[in-house]
Amino acid sequence: MTARVLVVDDVDVNVKLLEARLMASYFQVVTATNGSAALSICQEGQCDIVLLDIMMPEMDGYEVCRRIKENPSTMHIPVIMVTALDSPEDRVKGLQAGADDFLTKPVNDLALITRVKSLVRLKMLTDDLRLRVASGDDITIEQIEDFNKVDPNQERGRVVVVDDRVKSYEKTVKSLSAHHDVDVVTNGNDALFQIAESDYEMAIISLNLHEYDSLRLCSHLRSLERTRQLPILVMADANQESVVSQALEIGVNDYVMHPVDAQELMARMRTQLRRKRFNDFLRKSVQQSIELAVRDPLTGLHNRRYMQNHFKSMFAKATKQNQLVSTILCDIDHFKSVNDNYGHDVGDEVIKEVANRIQKNIRNIDTACRFGGEEFVVIMPDTDMSFARTIAERIRQEVSEHPVYAQNGSIKLNVTISVGVACKDSSLFDSPDKLLKRSDVAMYNAKRSGRNQVMIEAA
């Protein structure tokens, strides 16, 4: 794994030392000697992570970190404070400014490389989500700014603490319970199942479980799909640096050392929750982009583009397995007069209600799509003509026998549909387009025969 590391320090010797250590591990290094230069490099996207000295003239490290984290275009860049200050108060101040971690001078080589690798791995995940979101143009800078203003402590999180030492977990619960809902699990086996089956936002795991390998638990959580993105913070003793390094290598997000300072724990929790919620925010946007690509925004049914791709694969599978496929094509009768007499807003309500009634009267394995305008298609796998016609008639009755009430019930409309049904014959050479065409022909025959009826079209 490689990345571009920005080293910020006004002392040239410190810069050279960190640069040499990072380049020995094949990281690319960019340097800056003051806060303004560092902010410019971050803004221009020239780094993946920042190693930031605190004691600098003009603008100290706390202020630089705060500005990085307040800027929507740079807030996702991890920041590690590198400092000779090692009191809990100094760490808390940095974490409150948005720092992701601390390294104390003189910097331990193993801690340096391990922390950089861990935070770069998390940033790559966020970068991937940001790229997908950017390609969909669904999140604005204003939305990111609004998200960034929310303090994670204002929203209670669900946290699980895995620890079998009573005094230790009681102290942890006392520190967190004012801001979060905390569960305690004292057995490693139970913890794996409980975390996998629950909706936790954070797991805090002791590295000193007596009857279970704590690293094994962390590894299992990282391997399960449901818990892969769950932030994990481990609690370790001062003599467990090598174990902490292993934990970070397998994907643990952060750690605290005993005796745990309550303020530092809360600050690290805040950092992890903010990152998780931001990534969840991005994932939700990606999912919405996917949904918009395959669903009709008015009705919530799948759109024509999805139907065409889905139908091809379904048809090919049915042909290979010698199964039947049926299609139902529905068109709202005299829909133009609805728009002309009541306006397009009422027309949209009619389309939406007809779509709801179609969806309610088909099976889970069937796929309903808005084909275009006031037309709908239902694709029915492993379905013969007789059953498809029964479903089509049920849909027609549901629409015709119950009026549509629009404009909050002020307008009552009697709506009907014309329906065409066709079925793929397993003995014939057929195609999705031909099957849809036969449904279309049957639907137009229904219209020519007086509308509000179901017609079938043979191959």
Any catalytic annotation for residue 374? yes
- Whole-angstrom distance, CA of residue 120 vs CA of residue 85: 24
Tokens of 75: 């807030």
Q: Where are the alpha helices (DSSP H) in 234-384?
A: 241-249, 262-294, 304-320, 335-342, 344-360
Rounded to a whole number of angstroms, the CA Rg of the chain reads 30
Partners of residue 161 on adjacent β-strands: 184, 204
Whether residue 264 contacts residue 92, with contact meaning beta carbons closer than 8 Å, is answered with: yes
Instruction: Point out the catalytic residue in the list 19, 264, 353, 374.
Output: 374
Chain-centre distance of CA 359, in angstroms?
27
- Whole-angstrom distance, CA of residue 40 vs CA of residue 400: 65
Q: Which of 206, 218, 285 is nearest to 250 (CA)?
A: 218
Chain-centre distance of CA 86, in angstroms?
36
Whether residue 422 contacts residue 379, with contact meaning beta carbons closer than 8 Å, is answered with: no
Q: Which of 421, 327, 331 is nearest to 374 (CA)?
A: 331
Partners of residue 82 on adjacent β-strands: 53, 103
Whether residue 412 contacts residue 341, with contact meaning beta carbons closer than 8 Å, is answered with: no
- Whole-angstrom distance, CA of residue 458 vs CA of residue 385: 9
- Whole-angstrom distance, CA of residue 226 vs CA of residue 233: 17
- Whole-angstrom distance, CA of residue 36 vs CA of residue 411: 63
- 223, containing H or E segment: helix 214-223
DSSP-based three-state secondary structure for 228: coil
Which residues have C-beta within 8 Å of that of residue 154, sequence separation ≥ 6? none
Buried b (16+ CB within 10 A) or exposed e, 165-185: beebbebbbebbeebbebebb
Whether residue 36 contacts residue 59, with contact meaning beta carbons closer than 8 Å, is answered with: yes
Instruction: List active site positions.
Output: 374
